[in-house]
């Protein structure tokens, strides 16, 4: 009888393990319960619209409309290393980057019409407006997260809006990523430069900066006498997307950039004003910046370069928070103090993504050489600097080292660890009560033609958004209780004499 009871227990445990593994979709992998997301694949509508196997190279992109700029046909195959094809292992089609007239140095002659995006001009600053690319046709009432995609040095917002969109589509196709297209809205500020104004890309009332000034928080050069910091623009955009009248289900905003866009994101994270109504909503993804605003004041830096001509300026903005700060932050830093500003930064949620092959020089200014001699070494030294501080690296900050990748935009943002931070982590967190309901601007609403139409998503604890245990969770709990009961029966039988 003992043998029979032992066999029954083993059978119950085996069935439980099998069912639990099937529910998790991860048979053969240990998966701590607190980290489980209920796995599900995108529905047939998503697969029919986005799987590469449904298309040929050069096919018309889904959601394309008349007037879209050339160059945005589907790319099937490739390596992703050229920023214009899909990464290996992702089975979705890739939308190519729009062709644009002009150049970064001579100025862009016109903004391209990006497939699936509108050029939105609903964010006002006096008589001026800040244009942004914003995904077309999504239902704002269902959006949980907004990605604010920053461009690189060429001010190519159209490229980065499309790249982050391609990465999102790739993530949704991955059964381990608990996200749908309906959950996330991609937007990209269109940071226009003086050369773009001269070449024709800027409309009469569009804000514009010196060609790289937007990345350091500088004031606009126009239109007219308008003077607005790029960081003030970011504040207003965040308040716009935090508006619960327009985005009632939103719980997070990710300021994301690679290269110079990463520099903007990190600099903004350093100086962003204290705002209790939106602070808990905002995260930052910082990919391979050319240099950093160092997270502590003082003469100590990890490298002693051969050129020491700037030794007295290594704490000056934008390598520290000394010297001539942007007008946006001068009063705040003066009032709160430098150390309080650094501490506020260390409390913010940031992922630093670094390509393990990115040995490019990055920022070539003298001050940057004190941080290291490449994108990668500066990121590694940034990690060491945070580790050396009291308490070590803040719990809200992490480093993601991406293998086999150099200074490649798309391979960085489509890396699975990057995707998890950008699109998945905390997606179902509850919004705090201090978040703002008001807003200073409005956007365009619509229906989500690209939604996957999947069932209610599950969070990391197996709870549905209504707070009730999911059926999968109930199955696992019930199975575990059954196994415990069987164990108890076996223990009891061990003490019963057998005749």
- Per-residue pLDDT reduced to its tens digit, 86-109: 999 999 999 999 999 999 999 999
CA 474 from centroid of its chain's CA atoms: 33
Q: Name the residue among 205, 270, 210, 198 with its Cα closest to residue 234.
A: 270
Question: Would you state the pLDDT for residue 39?
Answer: 36
38 CB-near residues (< 8 Å, 6+ apart): 23, 24, 178, 457, 458, 462, 470, 472
Judge if 145 and 30 occupy the same domain.
no
Q: What is the DSSP letter of 3?
A: H
Among residues 17, 173, 196, 169, which one has the least CA distance to residue 102? Answer: 196
List pLDDT tens digits, range 2-55.
444 444 434 444 444 344 333 333 222 222 222 333 334 667 889 999 999 999
CA nearest neighbour of 376 among 288, 312, 495, 307 = 288
Residue 251 · residue 146 · CB < 8 Å = no
* Average pLDDT, rounded, for the chain: 83
Backbone dihedral angles phi then psi of residue 255, each to the nearest 5 degrees: -85, 115
Rounded Cα distance between 242 and 456, Å, is 22
Asked whether residue 16 falls in the same domain as residue 67, the answer is no
Q: Is 429 found in the same domain as 445?
A: yes
At residue 452, does pLDDT exceed 90? no
Is residue 2 within 8 A of residue 425, CB to CB? The reply is no
Structural domain includes residue 427: yes
- Pick from 104, 90, 20, 101: which is nearest to 51 by CA? 90
Sign (positive or negative) of CA dihedral 198, 229, 379, 301: positive
Q: Which tens digit of pLDDT belongs to each residue from 187-235?
A: 999 999 999 999 999 999 999 999 999 999 999 999 999 999 999 999 9
Q: Is residue 388 within 8 Å of residue 298, measured between CB atoms?
A: no
Asked if the structure places residue 459 within a domain, the reply is no
Q: Structurally, how many domains does the chain consist of?
A: 2
Contact 158, 111 (CB under 8 A): yes
Residues 6+ apart with CB under 8 A from 409: 83, 152, 159, 160, 163, 258, 259, 287
Which contiguous run of DSSP H or E holds residue 398?
Answer: strand 397-402
Give domain status of residue 462, yes or no.
Answer: no
Residues 152 and 189 sit within 8 Å (Cβ to Cβ):
no
Q: Is the pLDDT of residue 179 over 80?
A: yes
Reading the block at residue 217, the tokens are 């928080």
| 346 and 253 share one domain | yes
Does 66 lie in the same domain as 17?
A: no
- Could you write out the DSSP letters of every residue in 199-215? HT-S-TTB-EESTTGGG
What's the number of CA atoms in the CB half-sphere (13 Å) around residue 284? 29
Q: Contact, 328 vs 229, CB < 8 A?
A: yes
**One domain for residues 34 and 47:** no
The residue with tokens 């520099």 is: 263
Looking at the fold, whether 16 and 51 belong to one and the same domain comes out as no
In a domain, 94, yes or no: yes
pLDDT at 41: 60
CA 438 to chain CA centroid, nearest Å: 24
Q: Is the pLDDT of residue 272 over 90?
A: yes
Average pLDDT over residues 364-373: 97
2 and 137 together in one domain = no
Neighbours of 418 (CB within 10 A): 22
Domain range for residue 274?
41-454
Could you give phi then psi for residue 126, rounded to 5 degrees? 65, -125
Measured in whole angstroms, the distance separating CA 377 from the mean position of its chain's CA atoms is 23
Question: Which are the contacts of 451, defined by CB distance < 8 A and separation ≥ 6?
Answer: 138, 139, 142, 180, 181, 182
- Asked if residue 488 and residue 422 are part of one domain, the reply reads no
Is residue 461 in a domain? Answer: no
* Residues in CB range of 204: below 8 A, 6 or more apart: 223
Nearest to 136 by CA among 423, 452, 449: 449
CATH number of the structural domain spanning residue 397: 3.40.50.1820
Q: Indicate the pLDDT class of residue 487, thresholds 50, 70 and 90.
A: very low
Q: Given pLDDT bands bounded at 50, 70 and 90, which one contains residue 432? A: confident
What is the chain's Cα-based Rg?
25
Question: In angstroms, rounded to a whole number, what is the distance separating the alpha carbons of residues 320 and 323?
Answer: 8
Query: Around Cβ 191, how many Cβ atoms within 10 Å?
Result: 27
Q: Are residues 174 and 78 in the same domain?
A: yes
Same domain, 379 and 474: no
Residue 471: what pLDDT?
Answer: 35
- The DSSP annotation for 219-238 comes to BP-BSTT---BHHHHHHHHH
CA–CA separation, 407 vs 359, rounded Å? Answer: 8
Q: What is the pLDDT of residue 465?
A: 29
Residue at 417 is within a domain: yes
Least confident span in 94-98, 401-405, 457-461 = 457-461
Query: Which pLDDT score is estimated for 433?
Result: 59
**Residue 3 dihedral angles phi and psi, to the nearest 5°:** -65, -40
- Whether 35 and 110 share a structural domain: no
Alpha carbons 176 and 31: distance in angstroms, whole number: 12
How sure is the predictor about 299, in pLDDT bands with cuts at 50, 70 and 90? confident
> Position of tokens 């489509």?
414
Task: Return the DSSP state at 463.
Answer: B
User: What residues have CB less than 8 Å from 321, skipping those under 6 apart?
Assistant: 270, 271, 293, 297, 315, 329, 333, 338, 341, 342
**Is residue 367, in this structure, part of any structural domain at all?**
yes
Do residues 327 and 304 make contact, with C-beta atoms less than 8 angstroms apart?
A: no
Residue 465 lies in a domain: no
d(Cα 167, Cα 87) in Å, to the nearest integer? 9
């Amino acid at each position: 009888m003992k043998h029979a009871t032992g066999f029954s227990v083993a059978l119950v445990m085996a069935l439980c393990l099998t069912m639990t593994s099937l529910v998790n979709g991860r048979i053969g992998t240990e998966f701590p319960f607190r980290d489980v997301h209920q796995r599900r694949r995108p529905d047939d509508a998503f697969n029919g619209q986005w799987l590469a196997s449904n298309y040929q190279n050069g096919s018309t992109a889904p959601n394309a409309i008349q007037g879209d700029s050339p160059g945005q046909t589907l790319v099937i195959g490739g390596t992703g290393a050229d920023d214009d094809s899909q990464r290996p292992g992702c089975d979705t089609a890739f939308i190519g980057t729009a062709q644009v007239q002009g150049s970064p140095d001579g100025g862009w002659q016109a903004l391209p019409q990006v497939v699936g995006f509108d050029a939105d001009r609903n964010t006002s600053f006096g008589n001026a407006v800040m244009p942004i690319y914003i995904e077309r046709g999504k239902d704002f009432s269902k959006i949980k997260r907004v990605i604010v995609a920053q461009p690189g040095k060429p001010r190519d917002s159209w490229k980065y809006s499309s790249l982050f969109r391609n990465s999102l589509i790739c993530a949704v196709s991955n059964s381990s990523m608990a996200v749908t297209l309906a959950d996330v809205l991609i937007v990209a500020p269109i940071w226009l430069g003086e050369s773009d104004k001269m070449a024709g890309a800027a409309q009469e009332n569009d804000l514009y900066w010196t060609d790289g000034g937007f990345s350091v928080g500088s004031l606009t050069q126009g239109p007219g006498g308008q003077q607005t910091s790029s960081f003030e623009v970011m504040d207003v955009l965040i308040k716009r997307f935090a508006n619960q009248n327009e985005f009632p289900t939103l719980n997070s905003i990710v300021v994301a950039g690679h290269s110079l866009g990463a520099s903007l994101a990190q600099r903004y994270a350093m100086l962003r004003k204290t705002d209790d109504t939106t602070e808990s909503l905002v995260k930052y993804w910082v990919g391979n910046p050319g240099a950093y605003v160092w997270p502590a004041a003082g003469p100590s830096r990890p490298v002693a370069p051969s050129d020491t001509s700037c030794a007295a300026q290594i704490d000056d903005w934008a390598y520290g928070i000394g010297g001539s700060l942007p007008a946006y932050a001068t009063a705040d830093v003066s009032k709160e103090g430098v150390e309080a500003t650094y501490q506020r930064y260390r409390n913010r949620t940031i992922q630093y993504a670094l390509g393990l092959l990115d040995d490019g020089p990055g920022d070539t200014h003298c001050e940057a050489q004190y941080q290291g001699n490449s994108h990668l070494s500066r990121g590694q030294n940034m990690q060491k600097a945070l580790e050396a501080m009291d308490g070590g690296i803040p719990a809200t900050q992490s480093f993601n080292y991406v293998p086999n990748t150099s200074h490649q935009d798309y391979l960085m943002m489509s890396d699975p660890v990057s995707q998890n931070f950008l699109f998945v982590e905390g997606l179902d967190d509850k919004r705090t009560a201090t978040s703002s309901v008001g807003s200073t601007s409005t956007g365009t609403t619509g229906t989500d033609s690209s939604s996957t139409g999947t069932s209610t998503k599950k969070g990391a604890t197996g709870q549905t958004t209504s707070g009730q245990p999911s059926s999968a969770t109930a199955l696992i709990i019930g199975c575990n209780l059954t196994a415990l009961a069987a164990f108890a029966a076996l223990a009891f039988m061990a003490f019963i004499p057998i005749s």
